[in-house]
Structure 1
């Protein structure tokens, strides 16, 4: 058995008898200050221990959100009609998708970006199989037919729209190749319909035409951006709005004489009854591809999302049609970016955690959002080059089993290019192979205890040194006063 005396011999903290120690007012004051300082440092260390530490590192992108990346956008074009507005996507792997409609919505807007009317459910422009009459021996020579369609202008247009129950107008441009192919069949159809329904004696339908190079204001009023555009006007059935525009329809069917005549015949109203025409549309348009509502405004808001592969690519907005021509000098691709962002939609809880950890990302994550890009000259194409970097946030507050929060930030560089081609808007994107990983972790308890001991021991030691120096200084002063100092 080890005796108690031997155990006492290894005591690190040997005690000095209390009657051998001396207390002082300076030591008492210093002890109070040291105790208060210990309490203050303890509180600071406890608060630091209770808080969460955040570490940020750059690692190779090992995304767990799949092979595809979502791009959300809201773009307003005050001078691009929804009739021909197309959203196209392509990438370096050779993927090309044209005129996306499943996840894209279009709304007509005016020049002030205000929405007019309901969503445009236009879809892609139909694939017109026949753009005119085929040339063959059985065809009647065009020069023997003469002019069948009535030429209208700014002064006569309103008169004819109110004169005939149904007026079908071909808005064309002489330089347009599609218009040249349509012209013979349009004149033939107009002459045939005039023979069946004499404009002077019957007057139920009339085929006309408008040269948009000579009547630019009239064509702008009806939002003509592609040539040829065939519009159907119905007297008494077009809703005239406050700004003077009509609600009418556009024809997208085949353009040979037989198809035109068959369709126009279906538009002819029933004979006059009690002084009124009974408008009855007998045209075959069950799938919505032959005719659709004409554009109600000259601008378009395009919003929605697309999913693209995680490789360099581009998203393009343009006027597109396989059966219409566009005047590049008249196309204005001025646009306002209401939203352009990358990544999946996140829950409000995840976004709250991200904003708490990375508040700087919340204010400027979408660098194009809110920007306006104006085409000051004609034939201006807008190119936006985007460098995309992924940030993954792993929060301690996320629910068990939930995925980390993914945020995509990007830098944008925009440029304007003037060319003779039809202008477009392109968003070139390129994803970085690296990602920023932000991880939230609690501090270790051992580190807290170590720092706590260091605080107590350090303050106690420093206070003891200060007390010894102060005590010696006071003794020295007393000796000088008693004359004992040599």
Structure 2
């Protein structure tokens, strides 16, 4: 047995000198401390790299057209009250989306842009639910395809409240706009709806008895702001959505916004896009228009955002997240009869979905690769430190001999 141990000793590649023949120097201690710090720093760096997964990219044709597209938005309008803003969504053909699942709220803001205390956010509709199949003969249409702010009132003149009395308390007057389906107007909204069905515009709401209690609300239209936030899910096709003043509806298959009793030129659509994303939010993903301000230098400004959406999937371990990234281009212009440009004030987003999808996959590094790297760090630093220590020691001995005159 002792013979085996003796033969095993002969294979020792690391012979140990006797303690009496070991020389420890100040320079050697300094090199040891420095090399230890370097090894520790490199080890931490390698460990961090090992724990951070690699991200690979692949491109392929998007086949997920049957899925819904989730639009998350948070936009502030400091110059228009919530009661006079509406949001609409349409597909690429101009038809309004149907069966939209949404959860979009309006929060009133004061003149300083802060939420009004004691006023809870109100859930709002995404699509205008008023549709007009045919306009009465002789009634003028909207000024353009998206705005209706001129006076198209013909007969049924509104008289002063003092000269007009309700025939019956339970059946209010529609001021000449009665139809076979709408004979009584007991609220201000019903009067406005009756005039809208006739294709007329209301000149002065203060002359309508049912609207007498809304005087304060009308004064606040331009003294308040509005925050619109939430999400909506639309069909996964190219389309658009917009936020504009007035009540929206469809007139002879044309999308119209009724801003009566005001003019579209009175609305300042200055806004701040706090956030706009498509699909699930992914931590660390930046969006190109988050925090972007749109400032209307003149009244009746139309803001247009053209978005190119590229869908992608993010595979993290066994979890797959479907989301989107996008680029944007913005244009703005003054609209109205005085500018010669068609359109209406508002913020319009037109998006196009790319047929190509990007697949991001997280792949972790192997432990073997990590172990090899750690061994290389320790061995390499130890070897280089030994060479440096040996060189310093030899040069120190050489200078010492020179001082004593014993060289050569």
TM-score scaled to structure 1, two decimals?
Answer: 0.53
Which residue in 1 is equivalent to 2:174? 168
Which residue in 1 is equivalent to 2:141? none
2:333 counterpart (399, 405, 416): 416
- Paired residue secondary structure (1:97): coil
Change (3 A) 1:102 1:25: closer
Which residue in 2 is equivalent to 1:34? 32
Cα distance between partner residues in 1 of 2:122 and 2:385 = 79
Aligned residues of 1:79 and 1:331 also touching (Cα < 8 A): no
Which residue in 2 is equivalent to 1:228? 200
Aligned residues of 2:75 and 2:228 also touching (Cα < 8 A): yes
Cα distance between partner residues in 2 of 1:101 and 1:403 = 25
Query: Runs of 5+ in structure 1 lacking a partner?
Result: 134-146, 171-181, 187-192, 194-204, 207-221, 247-295
User: 1:187-336 residue pairs with structure 2 within 5 A?
Assistant: 227-229=199-201, 240=213, 243=216, 305-317=231-243, 319-322=248-251, 330-332=263-265, 334-335=268-269, 336=271
Residue 395 of structure 1 and its aligned partner are, at CA, apart by 4.1
Residue 38 of structure 1 and its aligned partner are, at CA, apart by 2.9
Cα distance between partner residues in 2 of 1:126 and 1:240 = 27
Cα distance between partner residues in 1 of 2:349 and 2:396 = 80
TM-score scaled to structure 2, two decimals?
Answer: 0.61
Change (3 A) 1:386 1:149: closer
Which residue in 2 is equivalent to 1:449? 371
Aligned residues of 2:314 and 2:360 also touching (Cα < 8 A): yes
Which residue in 1 is equivalent to 2:18? 18
Cα distance between partner residues in 2 of 1:74 and 1:455 = 50
Which residue in 1 is equivalent to 2:151? none
Aligned residues of 2:303 and 2:331 also touching (Cα < 8 A): yes
- Paired residue secondary structure (1:96): coil
Cα distance between partner residues in 2 of 1:464 and 1:111 = 72
2:130 counterpart (120, 125, 128): 125
Aligned residues of 1:225 and 1:326 also touching (Cα < 8 A): no
Aligned residues of 1:90 and 1:313 also touching (Cα < 8 A): yes
- Paired residue secondary structure (2:385): helix
Does residue 459 in structure 1 map to residue 384 in structure 2?
Answer: no
Residue 385 of structure 1 and its aligned partner are, at CA, apart by 1.1
Aligned residues of 1:85 and 1:317 also touching (Cα < 8 A): yes
Residue 30 of structure 1 and its aligned partner are, at CA, apart by 0.9
Structure number with greater Rg is: 1
**Count of residue correspondences:** 351
Which residue in 2 is equivalent to 1:388? 309
Cα distance between partner residues in 2 of 1:415 and 1:404 = 35
Aligned residues of 2:39 and 2:381 also touching (Cα < 8 A): no
Change (3 A) 1:148 1:432: closer
Aligned residues of 1:73 and 1:340 also touching (Cα < 8 A): yes
Change (3 A) 1:478 1:454: same
Aligned residues of 1:160 and 1:167 also touching (Cα < 8 A): no
Change (3 A) 1:98 1:159: farther
Change (3 A) 1:475 1:88: closer
- Paired residue secondary structure (1:25): coil
Change (3 A) 1:65 1:444: farther
Deviations 1:142-191 (A, max 9, x none): xxxxx985553xxxx34346787644335xxxxxxxxxxx7xx99xxxxx
How large is the Cα RMSD of the aligned pairs?
A: 5.4
Residue 374 of structure 1 and its aligned partner are, at CA, apart by 2.4
Does residue 96 in structure 1 map to residue 95 in structure 2?
Answer: yes
Query: Which range is displaced more, 39-48 or 94-103?
Result: 94-103
Which residue in 1 is equivalent to 2:144? none
Cα distance between partner residues in 1 of 2:14 and 2:109 = 91
Deviations 1:72-111 (A, max 9, x none): 33556766996894614122xx472268876376869699
- Paired residue secondary structure (2:395): helix
Aligned residues of 1:223 and 1:297 also touching (Cα < 8 A): no
- Paired residue secondary structure (2:320): coil
